Structure 1
Amino acid sequence: GVISLIMAIIALILMQVNSNLKKLSDDSEGILRPEPVPFFKNKVYIAMFSILLFVVGGYYVGKGAIGLGRLKNYQPKQPIYYSHKVHAGINQINCLYCHGSAFEGKQANIPSTNICMNCHKAITSYEKGPKLLDENGVEINANAEIAKLYQYAGFDPKSPNSWDPSKAQSIPWERIHSLPDHVYFNHSQHTKAGNVQCQTCHGEITAMNEVYQFSELSMGWCVNCHRDTKVNFYDKEKGTGNKFYSIYEKFHNDIKSGKMDSVTVKDIGGLECQKCHY
């Protein structure tokens, strides 16, 4: 777009230079010429400018429209400062402990307050971990954040045995990753069947304090992944691979015979429209 604009400006300048040189030549030879048409009334210039405006404007409008709804790097402020780096990174809590349905269901889901309390009924203060800082470098009072959790849970650390889990309130977390309503996405299909790691889509979660949207999650981004990701077929003889794909007998035979060296998600229908839109 920028190169086209520069070329158009150069063309206009050359046309104007050519016109001035011709005028000087005609004047020296005594050739009478009609009065020149002002720039803003010249139909050729007006047409060229309109075409240029249409092309450049269309390019930037299209580029901007493609990005509508994409929330890469989106990082809303959460009701409680929760550090994945501390929980999943330093303390190595498995992702599935809090997001268990990511392996068995369509949604990863956000853990209930009582899941948090499974640990924080006993862990009432933050003592040995690293200093916590927000995105602006301001230090976070971790104990104050734990106190917020207790407020939602209705928990009194001085009297833990009197706590009634049924009265705990949900924490109003702000959702970060969201797809349009016309898109179907199943976590278990990727994590369980496809053996896709959480970090592939969500980035290095174990190193994030405040989580943000790592990937753009656009259609092109998903399609490119389906084109490149190889399927880990089950090998009956070696007993290795993913048994989920054992139904694709033809591909098994093609790999054994040397017709194919690998199979991607694209080859098993990963680019079919109805896989994600139905």
Structure 2
Amino acid sequence: MRLRGFRCHTVVVSLRKLFRRTPRDSITGTFRVTGVSVTRDEDGYGSARLSGVLSGPEVPARALRVGRRYGPGEQVPECGDEFPATIDREDPARYGIVWPERVSPTAKALWNEEYAERVAAAMRLGLEPSVVPEVTGIGIRELAKVAVERRYGRDLLPDGNRQITAEEATELYRTGVRATATITGIDFLEVPSRSMPNDEASLANVAVRVNHPNGSEYTTTARFGFRTAARRAQIGFVGARVPVRIDPQDRARLCLDSPALPPLPE
């Protein structure tokens, strides 16, 4: 079969040769900003002209001027900033600069809202705001998912600690390290009743001081579930001393040792 006088095989091979790029063809360099000129319109959008030097091993340094568009609230590079760059070894005029990920004002506002939620939750547990990790790099869809998970008590703990799932707890009853812990802070969650095992059940974030069998003492966070109002009244308060099982791979993660709880009063 022919295509305008060329064999199809020849066309494919030529395209592969034209666009082929392997790790040997490129090297990693940097683009260092030496000058910035920005113009913005009334809506806050603007254009930046960045002067700088592109350099890398085995290629001569060259001066560049590149243009970038920036939206309201986006940070414009400053003189002295450096960004990674990929440079074609055979043709240094072919390059790519790796700019920081752009964040829309909407996404940034949602990040701030999510961070504020975690800080408030941490403070209700008596923790310092500094223990809360910053929320960055999450898209709007992911943030929406986090909001849903929080509503149903499946999100990360305020300090970023990952709660023990029901399946993991079952395994820890068998393999986890036995210890006791004192609840130093408790924050009951508003979880839809349809997601709970019964109408009396409740869920809470807790800060605990753990007495490890090796003699050490440390603080961490967890999420405890209380199946009945009686169980909540028995151990669901600051100062309650409870049995726990610690993840042998990560002592910051633990669960309430339900099989070891004292019987409820009749």
TM-score range, shorter chain: under 0.3
Pick 1 or 2: higher relative contact order, CA cutoff 8 A, min separation 6: 1
Which of the pair is proportionally richer in strand? 2
Which of the pair is proportionally richer in helix? 1
Bigger radius of gyration among the two: 1
Q: TM-score, normalised by structure 1?
A: 0.23
